Amino acid sequence: MKEYLPDFFTNNLVMGDKTFPITVLDFLLKFCLPFLITVFLYFYFTHKTKKQIYKINFKNSSTGKLIYKFLKLIYLLIFLVLFWIITAYTLNMPIKGHLQIIYDLFNTPFIATGSINISVLTIILAVPIFVISSLLGKFISSMVKKSCDEKTHINESYRFRMEKIAQYGTTIVLMFIGFTLLGINFSSIAVILGAFGIGIGFGLQTVISNISAGLVIFFTSPIREGDRITVGGEEGYVTKINTISTIVTTLMEETIIVPNSQLISDRIFNHTYNGNEICIENFARVDYDCDIDKVIKVLKDTILRLPYIMPGKEPDVRVSEFKESCLLMVIYTDITDIKYKGKAKAWINLEILRAFRENDIQMVPVSRTDVRMLNR
């Protein structure tokens, strides 16, 4: 076939004053074409991996991003190795020797202390161990959660504790096994960390404090995921409890990141610690001249129509205080779920206003001054 091609393709490749021991045709077929195919495969597999991660709902998770970055790095390393092999094959260089050089380069330890040898290859293999351990930990936790959900007699506190123990216990055990298979001696790591700990201990005080507080929360369960709490003057739901911090979503759909140490040391209101049923209070100000028995009856009849009231529970209506210009009435109402707290309070206030107007009961504003003229 070469005899039918122009001399340009059959002559050795010349660049400037340097002549290479390869023809232009061989350069195109043995180097350029495999190189372009390798580049295409790199971008193809990177794109397919990204789509697959999106497909399994890992798009916005830190685990999905970590998996994608790791696989992208692996594809890049494979691309570089293939590029090296193509170059060596094109220039008639010993490929086996180059592969040995690559392996020795990746496997040469850059940290060698006692029985610990950490190389680039060790780090590359450690990443999938960490990711797989984390994913399996979450999978085991979801299985425990599903099993606990089927058993209605298990309380929320015990269920939450079992889920977290299963997740973190599985992750730690699998990481320990994986790192042991890589030849990493944990006893030597403990000695190194102990030496470093003296220098960095003060800098990590806050982190260690939050981790310790996270363990206390896991085992004692003062708060659980799904609880409605008030922390730092903000009320919201506990969305997720992590090792270092806890995510709280406020009633205005805002996200607060609360350090775990704050949840242990500060005063926290857990509105759902003993269940979702709560008691709410409303106030009403009436004139001193009104019929107080009629006021109490109207208030009770109004509250009993509340759609969120606890079945079998009657509202408790009391005269709370004798103000300067009015009687302060307080109404305590038991409702079925704390999630209706805002709606229930608003419903009660509106219906009290309507009921007082229908029954000619005079309400008194928050601030009112009565001036009486006395004839002497």
Q: Is residue 292 part of a domain?
A: yes
- Report the pLDDT value the prediction gives residue 13, as an integer from 0 to 100: 59
Phi, psi of 356 (to 5 degrees): -65, -40
The CA distance from 103 to 97, in Å, is 10
Q: In whole angstroms, how far apart are CA 285 and each of 281, 303, 304, 346? A: 14, 16, 20, 16
Q: Which of 225, 250, 270 is the last residue of a domain?
A: 270
Q: Which burial class, exposed, middle or buried, applies to 331 when counting CB atoms under 10 A from its CB (0-12, 13-18, 19+)?
A: buried
- Report the pLDDT value the prediction gives residue 1, as an integer from 0 to 100: 46
Q: Do 285 and 365 meet the contact criterion of CB atoms below 8 Å apart?
A: yes
Q: Is residue 137 part of a domain?
A: yes
- Report the pLDDT value the prediction gives residue 65, as an integer from 0 to 100: 67
Q: pLDDT under 70 in the chain at which residues?
A: 1-27, 30-31, 52-68, 84, 86-108, 110-117, 151-158, 183-204, 366-376
Q: Which domain holds residue 21?
A: 2-107
User: 145 and 222, same structural domain?
Assistant: no
Q: Is residue 370 part of a domain?
A: no
CB 321: neighbour CB atoms within 10 A? 12
User: 102 and 12, same structural domain?
Assistant: yes
Q: Do 338 and 228 meet the contact criterion of CB atoms below 8 Å apart?
A: yes
User: 318 and 243, same structural domain?
Assistant: no
- Report the pLDDT value the prediction gives residue 296, as an integer from 0 to 100: 92
Q: Is residue 166 part of a domain?
A: yes
Q: Do 320 and 352 meet the contact criterion of CB atoms below 8 Å apart?
A: no
Q: Can you give the CATH number for the domain in which 247 is found? A: 2.30.30.60
If DSSP codes are grouped into helix, strand and coil, which group holds residue 186?
A: helix
Q: Is residue 66 part of a domain?
A: yes
- Report the pLDDT value the prediction gives residue 106, as an integer from 0 to 100: 66
User: 196 and 130, same structural domain?
Assistant: yes
Closest CA to 118 of 182, 162, 202: 182
User: 17 and 66, same structural domain?
Assistant: yes
**Structure tokens given for 255:** 């996200």
Q: Is residue 261 part of a domain?
A: yes
Q: Which of 87, 107, 127 is the last residue of a domain?
A: 107
Q: Is the whole-model pTM more than 0.85? A: no
User: 130 and 101, same structural domain?
Assistant: no
pLDDT tens digits along 132-144: 787 788 788 888 8
User: 250 and 307, same structural domain?
Assistant: no
Closest CA to 213 of 273, 171, 263: 263
Domains: count for the chain: 4
User: 340 and 295, same structural domain?
Assistant: yes
- Report the pLDDT value the prediction gives residue 348, as an integer from 0 to 100: 94
- Report the pLDDT value the prediction gives residue 36, as an integer from 0 to 100: 80
Q: Is residue 149 part of a domain?
A: yes
Q: Which of 81, 107, 133 is the last residue of a domain?
A: 107
